[in-house]
Amino acid sequence: MPISDSSDSGQPTITRILCNARARRDPRDIPGFDALLGRRNRPGLSQAETARLCNVSRRWYGALERGEPENYSDAFLGAVRRILNLDETEWDLVYRLTRHRTPPPSLTSPSGSRRTEVPEAVRMFLDGLPWPAYLCSHRWDVLAYNAKMADDFPWLLHGVNAMMWALTYPEARTQLIDWENGWAVPMVAQLRFHVEQWKHDEGMRAVLDAVLMDPDARRLWNSSDLPTLSHPDSALPRRLYLPRQGTKEFSVVLLTLTPDAMSTCRLMVLIPV
């Protein structure tokens, strides 16, 4: 029997939630959509487009939308949440109907350090920057970010871990141009360094375990040709797409700063080239 509740419309609750979310979602707000699926000047995503953005088959996404009971992973449900920009109420209902329990506090930051106190001066510094910027822990849990960062990387609004987002989330491979060479390889190298440096940190191990569940990230982790990097190379421009910019490519360099009061954390600033 489909996972649903009774309603006058005859449709399962999850069907109505996801159909409505697809109908209102504007593809122009999804970085890289035009390059991946073609230009669109009107709101609305098809099932096939949603499935492609979530990196699953149309059949698998369609089964979820029809309310068919399957073993849907948290990673897949989280991707649907972000791609369709489900609000908290919609997300809670979708998760309860598919997993039969309340959603965990965060599906995207397994290391549990998001309660770190951020000094007001650091927040003011972030807010005063003209470029996208965020503060992350040594595990890449995002602790704070400015409005420009949220505009350019809307997935941050769902509490992402920066390393997990870049290496395992399907929307990262839509937004980040030359994903493997330009972004993933140097980030895997940084992850390896941090895992060795904090080898007794259970939260870091949780991030690594989550990353290694992705076959492409696992292949890069096992590569013998990784560079010896401990931080982003600020001389290396990286390309990406931005919301509402269609197929226009943007180049940025990543500047890394360390606040004295938070010596294990990093301020990441994305400066346009």
Delimit the domains of the chain by residue range: 13-99, 120-272
* Ramachandran quadrant class, 119 (left: phi over 0; alpha: psi -120 to 50; beta: rest): beta
120-272: CATH number = 3.30.450.180
- Neighbouring CB atoms inside 10 A of 78's CB total 22
Does the fold of domain 120-272 match that of domain 13-99? no
Ranges of the chain with pLDDT below 50: 1-2, 4-8, 113-114
SS3 20: helix
Q: The tokens 């990286």 sit on which residue?
A: 238
Q: Is the dihedral of CA 178, 180, 186, 191 positive or negative?
A: positive
How far apart are alpha carbons 2 and 150 in whole angstroms? 36
Closest by Cα among 23, 22, 29, 21 to 154 = 29
CATH of span 13-99? 1.10.260
pLDDT of residue 159: 79
**Closest to 232 in 3D by CA, of 173, 166, 146, 177:** 166
Q: In this structure, what token pair is assigned to residue 92?
A: 């809670």
> Cα dist. 31→84, 148, 154 in Å?
13, 14, 9
* pLDDT at residue number 110: 61
Identify the residue whose tokens are 């995503």.
Answer: 45
Q: What is the pLDDT of residue 144?
A: 94
Q: What is the pLDDT of residue 8?
A: 47
Cβ proximity of 24 and 86 under 8 Å: no
How much is the pLDDT for 106?
61
Tell me what pLDDT residue 6 has.
Answer: 42
In the beta sheet, which residues pair with residue 240?
A: 176, 250
Q: Using one digit for the tens of pLDDT, what is the confidence trace for 201-260?
A: 999 999 999 999 999 999 999 999 999 888 899 999 999 999 999 999 999 999 999 999
Stated as kind and residue range, the H or E segment containing 190 is helix 185-197
- How far, in Å, CA of 205 to CA of 10, rounded? 46
